[in-house]
Chain A
Amino acid sequence: MSPTHINEASVAALNRAFQGAGAEAILEYAMATFHPHLACACSFGVEDVALLDVLSRLDAQPRIFFLDTGRLHPETYDLMAAVKDRYGLAIDIFFPQHEAVEAFVNQRGPNAFYESLQLRKDCCAIRKVEPLRRALVGAKAWLTGLRREQAATRSDLGPFELDHAHGGILKINPLIAWSLEETWAYVRAHDVPTNPLHDQGYPSIGCAPCTRAIGPGEDLRAGRWWWEAPEHKECGLHSRRALAKDHA
């Protein structure tokens, strides 16, 4: 392992130096620097299965985790089973705290997330953000399948981020420069199992009640929390609020 001190300056230096680097190079660096304190988030979207396929062929694997919100599509569970079968990878599954889910659903009802932005964010906080915090305990860096073109909120994203929301660890996005077409070309070329919902018009898949198919010409994330304005369409997992505040 080479000594690494994660701070604004070193993250800026990494983003600049790795401009134009391939996903493999970013992953090689991540593994060589942070393993075994490297975790990989997987929600079984097309980017995530592509990332898993690349990872499956490295010398060693990071700890891979999955956040089961309890409200996912049946197809997502089928895909998880298929991926585990195909790659034999260990995947740690994290559930929400049942006390918090029970309190929220009992007080606000089963579909409160449609009622207001605040309630939707409360639901995301209970079902995704809090489990993520536990999933990242002990990690010095984590990998995601984020791509730059995925959302208006991600247009200036580099492969490396200082993750203020999780204690200043490094967040690494190896596929940041991939287009959707490149991602699909990769999974087809490598025969990677994907979620059948993609073929039914769901480019981005989250919880079942909060995801719908999109129509021709719609933004790729238009089907997530479709009743909300575009600037709100993040669940809080990849929140950049803390960073934005520092820059303000």
Chain B
Amino acid sequence: MSKTEVSIPESPIEILKRNSRYLRGTLEAELAGSELGLSADAQQLIKLHGLYQQKSRDKSKGPEVSPTKPPVLMARGRIPGGRLDASGYLAWDAIADRYGDRSLRLTTRQSLEVHGLLKGDLKAALKALHSELQTTRGACGDVVRNVTQAPNPWGRKDLAQLDAVAEALSAQFLAHSHAYAEVFLDGEKVDLDQESEPILGATYLPRKFKIAVTATGENLVDLYTNDLGFAATTGSDGALDGFFVFAGGGLGMTHNDPTTFPRLADELGWIPFDQLLPLAEAVVGTQREFGNRADRRRARLKYLIAARGSTWFKDEVERRWGSRFKSRDLPEWRTSPVLGWIQREDGSWALGFHTLSGRIADRPGLPLKTALRELVRDFNLDVQITPDQDLILVGIQASDRAEVEDILQARGIDPESPDRLHDRALACVALPLCGLAITEAERALPDLLSLLQAPLERHGLADLAPVFRVTGCANGCARPYSAELALVGQSPGRFALYAGGHAEGFRLAFEVVQKVTLEALPELLDRLFGFWKLEGTAHERFGDFAARIGREALATALLEVPAR
């Protein structure tokens, strides 16, 4: 590390982590105390245990916090590959009803969230999860987050071997600190001199670190948006024999701050299978040692690679790892649909369940949460959450399929998505719960999809509907910058419009116009899709069209007629 970098003051979060006594801080006392919420420091620290204190930002519903409206917490699971057995899923379902807001959220990292937990119920809720082997450890904060993995509704043998890969990565990079057990589970106290973090280090990582695993060809995990990605190759005997490795992806940015930017991961090369953990440790170790610990807006691995260069990064990783990447040709990407009824290789069935923005709740006339609980419980089904915030029920016996269909029909629930546009649409949580949100996202998604669907149908393009995503700020939680078309919250009520990403996630979208209001959107979309219909080649995807035609031509086409 050079002298100039040492002189930059470290961010307050770094000091907080270092002084936290391996993630304990004041959490135990604050959880037991009579204050309504957590101190600012405790709010930061509790993230590393997979928990966030939330605000309700609905001004219409009175002040943010009052004795009758105490602050609430969100708990997020560490669920490698989004795979749960029935008892695991039912544990989350139960704590949502007992302690939370009676709904579950599926996340884009294949995890589950329960919102609306009171501070005083937190330990009971986490103990209930723990008793069914569910945990929130390391699901947020400056650590290796939930490892995502290609969904496998087909029961494919190559993808099934990724289970062990995701488990090994998740376990190897879990914090060693026993703080979680002590603080939340009334576990035995461990002497601090017995604590160590041999892999993550005592100040943990500079920023969140995301890992995804898939097999070559399948990119539903959006591999290029991760800090570290593995795409497995299969040998002639059917066993996975190695991985293409990708590093330095990440979508967060700050509007009008050119030192921040979304970035797709670089392809580093191929490694043999047995080098998985040694290589991963070298990449995580490089970020731990050299990552930016002064400016959190530029602390992700992508900024380190951008600042020092891909060559420096690859050399450093190879030096730590003690081996070299091999050069191989990467097969093409596709994204196999995982929704609807899919027969598995063993003859049983999987049912890919489309959900809007990953919300699982009971609504009047639409008891989705209850229906899923009953199906999982009564048929003892496994569950896999997808990176598109959908949910796959796995292990439905052929003889039970008709009964499952009857139960859903009786409940008025259609597991299929209404149209192609809905299939892969994503929105982040945004208002009213996210402290960073500037605009609506999840709550506006149904209306936005209607706004999009109408001109798509008018121009006869519904079968080619783009991968559409919307976020309430520029941080990109719902991966807008790898979508074909996206809206990114910019100022209250206004969005930047992005276009040109690839449906398979290996090309970034670019900003076309700024500060679009929802009122202006119908006309703008009509012109955009009209332009695509007119100038696009046969079957050309919207993202490909936008990338080919370029920002200027798109912006000009949008501005030809003055907006209303």
Q: Is A13 an interface residue (CB 8 A)?
A: yes
Q: Is B180 an interface residue (CB 8 A)?
A: yes
Q: Is B168 an interface residue (CB 8 A)?
A: yes
Q: Which of the candidate stretches A28-36, A106-114, A148-156 sits at the interface with the other chain? A: A28-36
Can you list, as one digit per residue, whether each of B67-88 has a CB less than 8 Å from chain A (1) or not (0)?
0000000000001110111011
A29 and B130 in contact (CB under 8 A), knowing A3-B84, A22-B172, A57-B194? no
Cross-chain contact of B273 among A1, A2, A16, A25 (Cβ < 8 A): A16
Interface residues in A1-21 (C-beta closer than 8 Å to B)? 1-4, 9-10, 12-14, 16-21
A19 B84 Cβ-Cβ under 8 A = no
Minimum CB–CB distance for B139 against chain A, Å: 13
A9–B164 alpha-carbon span in the complex (Å):
11
Minimum CB–CB distance for B267 against chain A, Å: 22
A20–B322 alpha-carbon span in the complex (Å):
14
A17 and B165 in contact (CB under 8 A), knowing A2-B85, A29-B171? yes
Q: Which residues of A contact B167 (CB under 8 A)?
A: 2, 14, 17, 29, 33
B168 A18 Cβ-Cβ under 8 A = yes
**Which of A13, A28, A57 has most B Cβ within 10 Å?**
A13
Q: Is B133 an interface residue (CB 8 A)?
A: yes
Q: Is B157 an interface residue (CB 8 A)?
A: yes
B181 A58 Cβ-Cβ under 8 A = yes
Q: Is B163 an interface residue (CB 8 A)?
A: yes
B83 A21 Cβ-Cβ under 8 A = no
The residue in chain A whose Cβ has the minimal distance to the Cβ of B132 is A1
B85 A59 Cβ-Cβ under 8 A = no
A17 B276 Cβ-Cβ under 8 A = yes
Q: Is B409 an interface residue (CB 8 A)?
A: no
A58–B87 alpha-carbon span in the complex (Å):
21
Q: Which residues of B contact A25 (CB under 8 A)?
A: 168, 171-172, 174
Q: Which residues of B contact A32 (CB under 8 A)?
A: 133, 135, 171
Interface residues in B131-157 (C-beta closer than 8 Å to A)? 132-135, 157
Q: Which residues of A contact B176 (CB under 8 A)?
A: 24
B164 A59 Cβ-Cβ under 8 A = no
A2 and B168 in contact (CB under 8 A), knowing A9-B157, A18-B277, A32-B135? no
A2 and B157 in contact (CB under 8 A), knowing A20-B278, A21-B172, A28-B174? no
Cross-chain contact of A2 among B81, B185, B188 (Cβ < 8 A): B81
Q: Which residues of B contact A19 (CB under 8 A)?
A: 274, 276-277
Minimum CB–CB distance for B220 against chain A, Å: 19
Minimum CB–CB distance for A54 against chain B, Å: 10
A13–B81 alpha-carbon span in the complex (Å):
15
Number of B residues near A (Cβ < 8 Å) is 45
Q: Is B187 an interface residue (CB 8 A)?
A: yes
Q: Is B440 an interface residue (CB 8 A)?
A: no
Q: Is B178 an interface residue (CB 8 A)?
A: yes
Minimum CB–CB distance for A184 against chain B, Å: 17
**Which of A17, A19, A28, A31 has most B Cβ within 10 Å?**
A17
Minimum CB–CB distance for B233 against chain A, Å: 13
Minimum CB–CB distance for B147 against chain A, Å: 11
A16–B167 alpha-carbon span in the complex (Å):
12
**Which of B163, B180, B190 has most A Cβ within 10 Å?**
B163
Q: How large is the interface on A (under 10, 10 to 19, 20 to 34, 35 or more residues)?
A: 20 to 34
Can you list, as one digit per residue, whether each of B45-77 has a CB less than 8 Å from chain A (1) or not (0)?
000000000000000000000000000000000
Q: Is B161 an interface residue (CB 8 A)?
A: yes
The residue in chain B whose Cβ has the minimal distance to the Cβ of A35 is B133
A190–B273 alpha-carbon span in the complex (Å):
34
Q: Which residues of B contact A16 (CB under 8 A)?
A: 164, 239-240, 273-274
Q: Is B382 an interface residue (CB 8 A)?
A: yes
A59 and B185 in contact (CB under 8 A), knowing A2-B88, A3-B83, A10-B163? yes
The residue in chain A whose Cβ has the minimal distance to the Cβ of B394 is A3
B164 A14 Cβ-Cβ under 8 A = yes
Q: Is A60 an interface residue (CB 8 A)?
A: yes
Q: Which residues of B contact A20 (CB under 8 A)?
A: 274, 276-278, 281
Minimum CB–CB distance for B545 against chain A, Å: 41
The residue in chain A whose Cβ has the minimal distance to the Cβ of B157 is A9
Q: Is A214 an interface residue (CB 8 A)?
A: no
A21 B277 Cβ-Cβ under 8 A = yes
Q: Is A119 an interface residue (CB 8 A)?
A: no
A32–B136 alpha-carbon span in the complex (Å):
12
A35–B185 alpha-carbon span in the complex (Å):
16
Q: Which residues of B contact A10 (CB under 8 A)?
A: 160, 163-164
Cross-chain contact of B171 among A3, A26, A56 (Cβ < 8 A): A26
A13 and B163 in contact (CB under 8 A), knowing A2-B83, A3-B85? yes
**Which of B87, B132, B157, B176 has most A Cβ within 10 Å?**
B176
B85 A13 Cβ-Cβ under 8 A = no
Q: Which residues of B contact A28 (CB under 8 A)?
A: 171, 174
Minimum CB–CB distance for A61 against chain B, Å: 10
B382 A3 Cβ-Cβ under 8 A = yes
Minimum CB–CB distance for B391 against chain A, Å: 14
The residue in chain A whose Cβ has the minimal distance to the Cβ of B181 is A59
A17 B168 Cβ-Cβ under 8 A = yes
A20–B272 alpha-carbon span in the complex (Å):
13
The residue in chain A whose Cβ has the minimal distance to the Cβ of B83 is A2
The residue in chain B whose Cβ has the minimal distance to the Cβ of A88 is B188
B84 A2 Cβ-Cβ under 8 A = yes
Cross-chain contact of A57 among B83, B190, B273 (Cβ < 8 A): B190
A55–B145 alpha-carbon span in the complex (Å):
24
A5–B160 alpha-carbon span in the complex (Å):
10
Can you list, as one digit per residue, whether each of A185-201 has a CB less than 8 Å from chain B (1) or not (0)?
00000100000000000
A32–B167 alpha-carbon span in the complex (Å):
10
Interface residues in B277-323 (C-beta closer than 8 Å to A)? 277-278, 281
Q: Which residues of A contact B174 (CB under 8 A)?
A: 25, 28
Q: Which residues of A contact B178 (CB under 8 A)?
A: 57-59
The residue in chain B whose Cβ has the minimal distance to the Cβ of A20 is B277
A60–B274 alpha-carbon span in the complex (Å):
30
Minimum CB–CB distance for B325 against chain A, Å: 17
Minimum CB–CB distance for A221 against chain B, Å: 28
A-B contact pairs, 10 of them (CB 8 A): A1-B87, A2-B80, A3-B84, A17-B167, A21-B172, A24-B176, A29-B171, A32-B171, A58-B178, A59-B180
**Chain A residues near B (Cβ < 8 Å):** 1-4, 9-10, 12-14, 16-22, 24-26, 28-29, 31-33, 35, 56-60, 190
Which 7 A/B pairs are nearest by Cβ-Cβ distance? Answer: A25-B171, A17-B164, A17-B168, A13-B164, A1-B133, A20-B277, A3-B382
9 extra interface residue pairs, beta carbon distance < 8 Å, beyond A22-B198, A35-B133:
A16-B164, A16-B273, A20-B277, A21-B168, A21-B277, A22-B172, A25-B171, A26-B171, A60-B130
**Chain B residues near A (Cβ < 8 Å):** 79-81, 83-85, 87-88, 130, 132-135, 157, 160-161, 163-165, 167-168, 171-172, 174, 176, 178, 180-181, 185, 187-188, 190, 194, 198-199, 239-240, 273-274, 276-278, 281, 382, 394
